Amino acid sequence: MCSPVSSPSAISSGAPLKSNVGGGGWCKGLSDCLILGPKVSRNIKLVQTPQYHHLLQEKVEEREKELEKQKEMKSMYKMRLERTQNYLRYCLQVAQDNGFLELIINNKEKQQESVSSSSTIIHATASPPQQQPHSDITYLIHQAKLNGWYIEPHEIEMDEEVAQGSTAHIYRGRWRGYEVAVKCVLPDFFLLNENGVSFFAQEVETLSRQRHRFVLQLMGACLDPPQHGWIVTELLAMTLKDWLHGPGKRRKERSIPLPIFEERVGKAMEIAQGMQYLHEHKPMVIHRDLKPSNIFLDDSMHVRIADFGHARFLNHEEKALTGETGTYVYMAPEVIRSEPYDEKSDVYSFAIILNELLTGEYPYIQTHYNPSKIALEVAENGLRPQLPEQEDEQLEELIQLIQLSWDEDVALRPSFRAITSTLTNIHHKLIRSNI
């Protein structure tokens, strides 16, 4: 190691600095110290001993174990989250069944009315803000007037109520001499749901674009929510559910005779044709709530696919947003699990309906499960309705079609074009055999 540098006085006096190199004197400077330091090779090669390899292998194994543990934890948390979601859905269903939700909503409305009354007294002199029309409705009004299906509320003569739903009531009515069905969306649907106007506009727009004999025909609409959000369609008195099972709630025992086999296959064929039209529409229309109570029959007993409240336009190769939409009993497992899905979710729903038409039984009626339990079993354990017993070649072919259409692997489910072709061939065979 070099000795300390000379004192400042020595430097200032101009005395020469001595080096200890060869003569035992002092360094000339820092550069000399660095030069005189020990020589170190710049090309050091680590000796990779067996112990080194063993240590490295242990570290790699530790990292792999840690990654595997993280994957397991992630899977476990995902499963817990899904189960929690399913349990919350079950709680929501129970609350709805027992009227708790209605009680909460009514209580909230009373609080809002109380706050509104107080605000009116305090701000009695202030002018109320003008409500701006929703952009979706503004566009739809323009389209309706342009295409001749805009209806003013006073043009409709309302008669008796024929059905009730959670978001709308349906009335029999008359418009320009026609008997019509008027779906009146409840004002609360718009007031309590920030997207209510958009959902209503989407349903009306979906119906306005459809022109097919097996899809419900839109006559017009009143486009002034929240008080006049009305959808006016052709009047159809019977649903596929009523035709197959009779009126009333789900039960094991039949209340009416089972329609003949040929007619049931014919109804399935017409539904498939209507759904093929919707799926091949540009942009594609996914129904997302296909079930017997949303399929009506006209006076000639031909089907009309209806209730596009959950429908969604989908561009080519686009996936629908995650989130459950529809009815649990007919809902595809990927939708229940809140995974991205496409038009094949409608194919799954159709498979449940087709099996229901063949067996004449409500789906899962033998299990005694409630809808939430059914959804859980479908999503996690592959539960499906009981298939009919194979009696002949046509029935065997139909069972194969059902099993493909509700397959867990979405890619294996056929398109409605393929389904229509299969059902048409079977239906023609049935007709020829009865001649």
384-389 own/partner pairs: CB under 8 Å, 24+ apart: 385/352, 385/355, 385/356, 385/359, 385/361, 386/359, 386/361, 387/355, 387/359, 388/355, 388/358, 388/359
Count of alpha carbons within 13 angstroms of residue 186, beta-carbon side: 11
DSSP run (H or E) holding 34? helix 30-36
Element (H, E) at 183: strand 178-185
Residues whose CB is less than 8 angstroms from the CB of residue 367 and which lie 6 or more positions away in sequence, other chains included = 374, 383
CB-based contact 324:344 (threshold 8 Å): no
> What are the C-alpha distances in Å from 157 to residues 144, 160, 181, 218, 428?
20, 10, 11, 17, 44
Q: Tell me how far apart the terminal alpha carbons of the chain are, to the nearest angstrom.
A: 115
346 is an active site residue: no
Catalytic residue among 136, 289, 342, 346: 289
Residue 75's Cβ-count burial label (10 Å; 0-12, 13-18, 19+) is: exposed
Give the whole-angstrom CA distance, residue 169 versus residue 154: 18
Residue with tokens 């229309």: 285
Among left, alpha and beta (phi > 0; psi -120 to 50; other), residue 14 is left
Per the structure block, which two tokens stand in for 46? 């680590």
By the 8 A CB rule, do 137 and 225 touch?
yes
Active site amino acids: 289
